[in-house]
Structure 1
Amino acid sequence: MGTDCQTPEASPPPASLRVLARRPEFLALNRGHRAPAGSFLLQGRDRGDGTPGIGVGFTCSKKVGNAVARNRAKRRLREAARLVLPDLGRPGWDYALIGRAGVTADRPFEALLDDLRRALAKVHGAR
């Protein structure tokens, strides 16, 4: 019994995410592109080192609120990045998502995802 099944072309696997943790990595993003979104600020830049992974970092200042509010905002940003960046982020790029006071923690999650998609389009369309 033979079947002639054609396998569909597989899409390339999404790029892997790595977390930015060191201050120099965040400072290097200041030389990149900025895209204010409704609920956060996105900074992005091409590392130019030829490594394929996507770097992502998260930060919230004390203006966002107490530790509970800052951690909630960062958790939401991490989840949004986990869902969106593997598909829309560019390999070899680093991104920082910077939370905003009174908005990041309270914005509906679908709107937060849309903000990230729009901000990525702005960062990649810049220049």
Structure 2
Amino acid sequence: MPAGGTVPAVATLTRRSDFLAVNAGRRAPMPGFVLLMRPRGDGDDAMRIGFTVTKKIGNAVVRNRMKRRLRALARSLLPVKGVPGADHVLIGRQGGIERDYALLEIELGKAFAKIAR
């Protein structure tokens, strides 16, 4: 949690240019997903998050299920372990839909720790 004890606001990335900008930042690959992070440098402490799952993962039902899992993970961990003033992107991977949710949560915590270094 940040020094002031308050949790920064969390917004959603929607523009393609924002996703492309985050792709140039730091990455933490995990078995179920890849976490990308890039500080914006605009002086705003708000965190932004984006989600993407490619068609390689499966049909629309599978992709939407994976996105729901990623959103739930981000909702629980991003306000606590995310980097204030940065954009984050979670990219779903092939094995992510079959992985245990608790294991994904542990892996996301590790990914945030790796990226924050």
Identity %: 46
Deviation at 1:104, TM superposition (A): 1.4
Q: Distance in 2 between matches of 1:69 and 1:44?
A: 25
1:88 aligns with 2:97: no
Cα deviation, 1:71-110, whole Å, max 9, x if unaligned, reads: 0000000000000010001210110000011x11111111
Q: Name 1:24's counterpart in structure 2.
A: 17
Equivalent pair of 1:15/1:87 in contact (CA under 8 Å): no
Q: Distance in 2 between matches of 1:79 and 1:16?
A: 16
1:51 aligns with 2:25: no
Q: Distance in 2 between matches of 1:115 and 1:60?
A: 18
Equivalent pair of 1:74/1:99 in contact (CA under 8 Å): yes
User: What root-mean-square deviation, in Å, do the aligned CA atoms of Structure 1 and Structure 2 show?
Assistant: 1.0
The residue identity in structure 2 corresponding to 1:37 is: M
SS of equivalent to 2:91: strand
Q: Which residue among 57, 76, 96 is the counterpart of 1:104?
A: 96
Larger radius of gyration: 1
Cα deviation, 1:99-122, whole Å, max 9, x if unaligned, reads: 011x11111111111111111111
Deviation at 1:31, TM superposition (A): 1.3
Q: How many residues align?
A: 114
Cα deviation, 1:4-61, whole Å, max 9, x if unaligned, reads: xxxxxxx712222100010000000121001101210010010000111110000000
| Runs of 5+ consecutive residues of structure 2 not aligned to the other structure | none
TM-score (norm 1): 0.86
Structure 1 segments of 4+ aligned residues over 6 angstroms from their partners: none
| Runs of 5+ consecutive residues of structure 1 not aligned to the other structure | 1-10
